[in-house]
Amino acid sequence: MTPNYVTIVTPLKPDSVEPCRQYLRDNADPQLGQVDAFLECRPLFQFDEIASMHFCSFVILGAADGIPPSLVFEATFDGSRDDFLNDLLRIAPEGLDTIYRQCAGYPVSGIATPELVKEYFVRHDVGANTFFSGSPGRTVSQIRGEGRIRDNLAAFLSERCQAGEKIPGRAVAILDIVRDVVRGAGAANWAEQPVRLPWEMTFRNGIALAAVIAVVVLASLLGALVCWAAGHGPESLHRIVNAWLQTADQIGGRIDNQVTTVFPWVGELVPMIQTSTLRLLSGLTLAWVVVRVCELLLKSVSRDVRDQFLIWRFPLQLLVVTRFALVAYIVGTVLLAAVSGADALAPEGTNSLWGMFKELAAVGVQLVLIGLLLLIGWHFTTSLNLAIELQPLDETWENLRRMALDLLWFAMLILGGIGVLLIASVLPAGFIGSMARIIEPIVNFLFLFVFFAVVGIFAAYAVGLLAMLTIGAMEHQDKSKFDSAAGLLSRARENAKKYAREEGGINRFQNHLASVTTVKPGVLRRWLLRLVLFAINLLSRFWFNRGELGGIPTILSARWVLIDGGRRLLFLDNYGGAWESYLNEFIDLAAVKGLNAIWTNTFVGAAGKTYSFPPTRFLFWRGAQDARPFKAYVRQSQVETIVWYGAYPTLSVVGINANTDVRQALFQQLQPAGVDRLLQGF
């Protein structure tokens, strides 16, 4: 997937650190443009001549026990690494040669043998353990081109739609004018072509669905394994499932007795359905309602990320799983009843044509009734959905609304089920029999599958709980091993020198954050960190590929790299806006969990002491939410960004993605509402 990236980490001779830093500052760091360009490159490092490069930066990491100082060059670019390195050596041969001569292992022949230099770079490229891009798949020229289209159209429309101008009455007519403008601007062919986005983005939902199915299948296998280990074969399992259904049936029986004593006509209402089925359904429904109420209550404890703690999240997630399993059981029960209920009807034996007709008519009337009820249900669900479009409800009413919505959906599901049963009751017995032969094994398999899946998921959660407790124990030990990050608050003045460039000059709109932390000792910590980085890498590639990472909409390109054989964690990040608001997003949005899971495995050293990341609880919680110590920790871990280059330094991630959407919509068939939305985007 584009963009591609390199992270070249080379050991630097200890006495060259300062000269190298100064050389880079004076010769490589682009300056605020005085004439037309916002960012102007230096003659020795003409970064802007590499048309495919999004970002690059130079950072120098200080020596840490046993590790020599190192020079880090990171770049994000389109196309292959080989082409990029060729370009890099072409635009800055002299400058690169001067710096890298200070690095150990650099070929003696230097730039005279560019192939060797390139090989040196490739050898020291550590890539990234986790990489995130805010606008995946977009090339530099595309981002710039789409930005130009939007800017031009915004200016054009602003001019065209001023008071006193003749404006076409219909928005569609304006869109036609806009299209003509784009076509007339020469970039027509390019702009009219559909945007090609990476497959990870195009099939995002499909991939997510496949992942969920895979997880359920795996859980089911795990459940089967657990059951087998516990000594239950398929036979005894069948008994367990049946026993379980029987319990539901008994519960249902009690409800039905209650109901039929109070409302005797209920039994009359659905004579075609066996009482046992009805009882089973009522039992399952009651269980479902109980689970859903518990779930909503747990959810409504608080919507603040600060309250989503382990003891609330685990039960909540298990309840959701249980609820889905119950729905599967209800569907299965209805299907089974549909194919078996017909047999029960047969003995009544109304042979006369008139009797048949009466029966059919009764079923027809009932079906129409069900259809009507479904329509009414649909009406209410729609109005419940619309209820919050204009005005949100407060917490209690919102929960009641959701419960009402769920009950409606559920009632519609049951109604649909009854409809299926009714239809089944009048179908010829032979047809039902053949259906039964197909459906019964499927439903039985479904029951078994769902049962195993639930067992598997509960087992996985039990294992997860053990893992969490282990992590909790490690976190407890850390408190005595490391100093509290709050101690770093007093080092603000020393650290301020590292980030003097932020928010000014060429960094007014986009900033760079380089941070290096030491991984806590212990095999468990190292593997935990690798696992978390791997998971976040998967997530950012397949799920967070629409411009935001866990709710943060300002990251342009970020990477986490384990360096020095996994002893240190390097974080390089290009983000939009100011540091303070960027860090706040990390602290206050959902992303805080991922952030905690990564950095809780690290510490920083300062003035002879070691300070741990603000203590997390069970990997995901607290940690960075202690805002002040966390910010002090980030500042301490921060390394000065000596050189930074960005190809579109005034754009925001939101803007880049919106520009792509605009270009995509420009030449599509649009409804009037879509046209309005498109024009509002300018």
Partner 1 sequence: MDSIEWNDVQGLLLSGYPRLPYSAYVVWRFRSDCGDASGRWLGGLSKRIMRAAPAEDHAHSAEAEPTDIRTLKAANGGHHRAINVALTATGLRKLNLDERQIAEFAFEFLEGMAPRPAVDAAVSRRSNLLGDIGECAPDRWDWGGTSDVDGMLLLFSTGEGDLQVLIESEITAMRACCEVVVSAGHARGTPVILQSQLYDDRKEHFGFTDGISQPTIEGSPKARRSKDRLKKKSPIDDEDGGTMLSAREQRISLVKPGEFVLGYPNERRESITSAVANEEPGTCDLLRNGTYLVFRQLEQDVEAFDAFAAQLAKQIYGNTDPSSQELAAARLIGRHKNGEPLISGAADSTKKTSRNDFLYAFEDGSGMACPVGAHIRRANPRDIIGPDPDTALRLSKMHRIIRRGRPYGPRRGEGKPDARRGIAFIALNADIAGQFEMIQHSWLNNPNFGGLYAGCDPIGHVTHADDEFAVQQRPANLHVRKPRPFVTVRGGAYFFLPGIKAIQAMADAAESRAAAPLSATEESKRRSAVFG
Question: In the set 19, 392, 521, 566, which binds partner 1 (CB under 8 A)?
Answer: 392
Does residue 570 contact residue 513 with C-beta atoms inside 8 Å?
no
Helix (H, G, I), strand (E, B) or coil at 10: strand
Question: In the set 79, 577, 605, 674, which binds partner 1 (CB under 8 A)?
Answer: 577
Question: In the set 504, 522, 566, 672, which binds partner 1 (CB under 8 A)?
Answer: 504
**What character string, x for contact with partner 1 (CB under 8 A) and - otherwise, covers 145-174?**
-----xx--xx-xx-xxxxx--x---x--x
Question: In the set 396, 480, 490, 669, which binds partner 1 (CB under 8 A)?
Answer: 490
Question: In the set 503, 526, 640, 665, which binds partner 1 (CB under 8 A)?
Answer: 503
Take residue 527 and report the two structure tokens written for it.
């593997």
**What character string, x for contact with partner 1 (CB under 8 A) and - otherwise, covers 342-381?**
----------------------------------------
Output 167 or 320, the one with its CB closest to partner 1.
167
Output 33 or 271, the one with its CB closest to partner 1.
33
Cα separation, 393 vs 381, in Å, equals 16
H/E stretch holding 644 = strand 641-646
Cα separation, 605 vs 483, in Å, equals 10
Q: DSSP assignment of 144-201, as one string?
A: HHHHHHHHHHHHHHHHHTSTTS---SSHHHHHHHHHHHHHHTS-HHHHHSPP---HHH
Q: How far is CA 557 from the centre of its chain?
A: 16
Among 275, 435, 268, smallest CA distance to 362 is for 268
- Give least dist CB 209 to partner 1, A: 23
Cα separation, 392 vs 373, in Å, equals 28
Q: What is the size of the binding site for partner 1 (CB under 8 A)?
A: 63
Output 303 or 481, the one with its CB closest to partner 1.
303
- Give least dist CB 655 to partner 1, A: 6
Stretch that binds partner 1, among 195-203, 340-348, 424-432, 570-578 (CB under 8 A): 570-578
Question: In the set 116, 413, 658, 670, which binds partner 1 (CB under 8 A)?
Answer: 658
H/E stretch holding 375 = helix 353-390
Output 114 or 655, the one with its CB closest to partner 1.
655
Give 493: exposed, middle or buried? Use CB within 10 Å, 0-12, 13-18, 19+.
exposed
Give 392: exposed, middle or buried? Use CB within 10 Å, 0-12, 13-18, 19+.
exposed
C-beta atoms surrounding 607 within 10 Å: 9
Write out the binding residues for partner 1, residues 506-565 only, by CB under 8 A.
508-509, 551
Question: In the set 60, 72, 191, 587, which binds partner 1 (CB under 8 A)?
Answer: 587
**At CB < 8 A and 24+ separation, what contacts does 36-42 make?**
38/506, 38/649, 38/650, 39/506, 39/645, 39/646, 39/649, 41/645
Question: In the set 1, 104, 368, 492, which binds partner 1 (CB under 8 A)?
Answer: 492
Q: Considering the rule CB under 8 A, would residue 588 count as an interface residue with partner 1? A: yes
Question: In the set 217, 414, 665, 679, which binds partner 1 (CB under 8 A)?
Answer: 679
3-state secondary structure 493-550: HHHHHHHCCCCCHHHCCEEEEEEEEEECCCHHHHHHHHHHHHHHHHHHHHCCCCCCEC
Among 92, 83, 82, smallest CA distance to 46 is for 92
Spell out the alpha helix ranges (H) of 230-352: 234-262, 265-269, 275-299, 310-345
Residue 164: left (phi > 0), alpha (psi -120 to 50), or beta?
Answer: left
Question: In the set 493, 523, 565, 608, which binds partner 1 (CB under 8 A)?
Answer: 493
Output 101 or 508, the one with its CB closest to partner 1.
508
Does residue 74 contact residue 6 with C-beta atoms inside 8 Å?
yes
Stretch that binds partner 1, among 337-345, 367-375, 378-386, 390-398 (CB under 8 A): 390-398
Bridge partners (DSSP) listed for residue 641: 59
Cα separation, 66 vs 68, in Å, equals 6
- Give least dist CB 391 to partner 1, A: 6
- Give least dist CB 654 to partner 1, A: 6
For β-strands 638-639 and 510-519, DSSP reports them as antiparallel
Take residue 5 and report the two structure tokens written for it.
């990236």
Helix (H, G, I), strand (E, B) or coil at 81: helix
Output 54 or 124, the one with its CB closest to partner 1.
54
Output 281 or 591, the one with its CB closest to partner 1.
591
H/E stretch holding 53 = strand 53-61
Which residues lie closer than 8 Å to 569 by C-beta, 6 or more apart? 516, 517, 518, 519, 529, 560, 561, 562, 563, 598, 599, 601, 602
Output 14 or 168, the one with its CB closest to partner 1.
168
Stretch that binds partner 1, among 41-49, 385-393, 432-440, 524-532 (CB under 8 A): 385-393
- Give least dist CB 682 to partner 1, A: 6
Write out the binding residues for partner 1, residues 234-293 only, by CB under 8 A.
none
**What character string, x for contact with partner 1 (CB under 8 A) and - otherwise, covers 217-236?**
--------------------
**What character string, x for contact with partner 1 (CB under 8 A) and - otherwise, covers 615-654?**
----------xxxx---------------------x-x-x
Output 612 or 625, the one with its CB closest to partner 1.
625
Write out the binding residues for partner 1, residues 13-72 only, by CB under 8 A.
25, 38
Question: In the set 81, 501, 525, 526, which binds partner 1 (CB under 8 A)?
Answer: 501
Q: Considering the rule CB under 8 A, would residue 584 count as an interface residue with partner 1? A: yes
Output 128 or 591, the one with its CB closest to partner 1.
591
Stretch that binds partner 1, among 112-120, 361-369, 571-579, 606-614 (CB under 8 A): 571-579
- Give least dist CB 551 to partner 1, A: 5
Take residue 201 and report the two structure tokens written for it.
């983005």
Does residue 60 contact residue 666 with C-beta atoms inside 8 Å?
no
Write out the binding residues for partner 1, residues 293-312 only, by CB under 8 A.
303-304, 306
Q: Considering the rule CB under 8 A, would residue 497 count as an interface residue with partner 1? A: yes
Question: In the set 352, 391, 396, 671, which binds partner 1 (CB under 8 A)?
Answer: 391
Query: For binding to partner 1 (CB under 8 A), which residues are involved?
Result: 25, 38, 150-151, 154-155, 157-158, 160-164, 167, 171, 174, 303-304, 306, 389-392, 486, 489-490, 492-493, 496-497, 499-505, 508-509, 551, 576-578, 580-581, 584, 587-590, 625-628, 650, 652, 654-655, 658, 676, 679-680, 682
